[in-house]
Amino acid sequence: MKITWLGHSSFRIEIAGQVLLVDPWLAGNPVLPENHHDAAIAGATHILLTHGHGDHASSALAIAKAAGVPIVCIHELATLWADKDLVETQGFGKGGTVKLGDVGVTMVNACHSSSVDFGEDRPFYAGSEAGFMIAGEGHVIYVSGDTDIMADMDWMGDYHKPDIGILCCGGHYTMDMDRAAYAAKRYFKFKTVIPCHYKTFPLLAQSAQPLVDALPGVDVKTPDVMETLTF
């Protein structure tokens, strides 16, 4: 299994024969140079979106049309884009699981907001914000999406038992490093944590060192953009 950070909250996850693009933000992403865009999405099989904000979803339609791959997301956004933009979508809801080949993707709760805040018709309702539990190759990856700490993390950690956490932690719009570390220690038993939603803009945290320091028993990975981690 391979996980590649594309900057901000964008990831490329190669797992059980699938290539999942999670919140793939290409155009306008200040930390992902344009000459890496093709490599970032090469061979993609699905696009997973946690919510509709531009720094997560604004490249999804273009990628879906160019690569001919479906967008997997909350029902309302999936229905809207399938009807209006004529792309293939797979909509589902929190607590639901979709099978993408041999990979199981379960939608779980997040605490944020969700609207399509880009394009000519912005903003409009995009369904609810969410996270994902991605299961395959003997691993469960928790993608937090944009969120604060939630009591729901208690049962989510106990029920799904993720060993890898991809956690937003840049502050201002989401959990900061201290809150993400608190959530990881209290609610989960991660072997590996990968921080995201940081370093992109001056408003966000610029270093994940506080997260590393707060989780001494966890392998906190801080890859460079386009660096691939192998599990």
Q: Mean pLDDT across the stretch 52-65?
A: 95
**Does this model's pTM top 0.85?**
yes
User: Does residue 32 carry a pLDDT above 90?
Assistant: yes
Q: DSSP class of residue 53?
A: -
Contact 25, 146 (CB under 8 A): no
Using one digit for the tens of pLDDT, what is the confidence trace for 97-121? 999 999 999 999 999 999 988 887 7
Q: What is the pLDDT of residues 118-154, one digit of tens each?
A: 887 778 788 999 999 999 999 999 999 999 999 999 9
- High-pLDDT (> 70) share of the chain, %: 99
Does residue 225 sit within a domain? no
Q: Is residue 226 part of a domain?
A: no
Tens-place pLDDT, residues 187-222: 999 999 999 999 999 999 999 999 999 999 999 999
Distance from C-alpha of 123 to C-alpha of 10, rounded to nearest angstrom: 22
Burial class (CB in 10 A: 0-12, 13-18, 19+), 69: buried
For residue 31, give its domain range: 2-220
pLDDT at position 123 is 81
User: Does the residue 124 lie in any domain?
Assistant: yes
The pairing of strands 164-168 and 139-143 is: parallel
In a domain, 230, yes or no: no
pLDDT score, position 84? 81
pLDDT of residue 83: 86
- CATH number of 16's domain: 3.60.15.10
The answer to the question of residue 231 being in a domain is no
Taking only the tens place, the pLDDT of each residue in 60-75 is 999 999 999 999 999 9
Query: What is the structure's pLDDT at 119?
Result: 81
- Burial environment of residue 153 by CB neighbours within 10 A (0 to 12, 13 to 18, 19 or more): buried
| Residue 95 counted as domain residue | yes
| Confidence band of 231 (pLDDT split at 50, 70, 90) | very high
Work out the burial of residue 165: count CB atoms within 10 Å of its CB; fewer than 13 is exposed, 13-18 middle, 19 or more buried.
Answer: buried
Q: Residue 227 falls within a domain, yes or no?
A: no
Q: Domain count of the chain?
A: 1
User: Which tokens in the block code for residue 188?
Assistant: 């989960």
